[in-house]
Amino acid sequence: MISPSGYFADGSCAACEMGGVMRSTLWIRRLRSAILLAKRCEAWVEMTTHRWKRIQIVAFGTLVLNRRLAYAVSLLRDEADYDARIILRSMMEIHFNYAWMRLQEPQRRANRFLKYGPIERLRILAQWQDSNDPREKARIRAWKRARAKVRHLFASTKDGRTTWAPSWAKVRSFEARLYEVFKAATPPDKEVDESLYGIYRWTSSLVHGNPHVFTEVLGPPSTGLRARTTIPGLELDSSMRVAWSILALTLHAAVSDLGIENADTDMVHRLAGNVAAYADAP
């Protein structure tokens, strides 16, 4: 498992020179190759005409979202590697929510996940609306009708909020879903590695502007108020490596669920194998 600083769990460094070429160039190429592979898989799906199942819709949407976000990471300059954490957090949450749906009754979970859309959309509109705009009122009425059709699939909290029902989602937090995904992939005789959630918390700290990120972007108090030009403990291209890993995992799962069978399928399997070998490298 790669740590936030770019080091493996055993302390070996993930950023080094290979054949005289800095990994900066190497990882840009790797990430962009994975992005192109994802786009080719998307094109195959778009040319295929049949009725898609709910989990396949989620698989395709996850692939599109994470391919787009990975592309955003690939455009960042080295000095923005720290700020890419915001994008990586989204990629992790998107992928592992999908991975959680695949664990058990994937069609049922995907169906309810998609049908939760009107409920979530209505919450956004209710707080965002211009109360004097009749068009906004009409949109809210339309989403309320849509919500009424799916509300029976969900549960209500004590304060009247609609949430995922225990019958198909016994856990509600992302941390708990992530734990279930890793528990399912862990042999019974081994402990579940929960370090990935630590990385997720690390990326979330920047999203929320937690107090400790101030110590990362500001210089020592003894120097006065100064912005750091480099972030301590951050290896260049760590964002490229993490984005590449997540996109590869998404590709591997989506290709399986979508039934993609073409010349790219073997490349996707090899890519996923490379991620596993890279993470386990001594």
pLDDT in tens, 186-233: 888 888 777 777 778 888 888 888 888 888 888 888 878 888 877 766
The dihedral region occupied by 160, where left means phi > 0, alpha psi between -120 and 50, and beta the remainder, is left
163, β-bridge pairs = 155
Q: Global pTM?
A: 0.78
Residue 14's closest CA among 236, 265, 270, 257? 236
- Chain-wide mean pLDDT for the chain? 78
Return the H-helix or E-strand segment holding 149.
helix 134-150
For the chain, the 3-state helix, strand and coil shares in percent, each to the nearest 5, are 65, 5, 30
Per-residue pLDDT reduced to its tens digit, 33-57 = 999 999 999 999 999 888 899 999 9
Q: What is the DSSP letter of 78?
A: G
Which residues are registered as beta bridge partners of 7? Answer: 13
Paired tokens of 109: 């979970």
Pick the closest to residue 235 from 22, 91, 18 (CA basis): 22
Q: According to the model, what pLDDT value does residue 164 have?
A: 59
Chain position carrying tokens 């859309």: 117
Q: Count of CB atoms within 10 A of residue 147's CB?
A: 20
Q: What is the predicted pLDDT for the residue at 272?
A: 81
Provide the percentage of residues in the chain whose pLDDT is more than 90: 27
pLDDT tens profile 102-128? 998 899 889 888 887 777 777 777 666
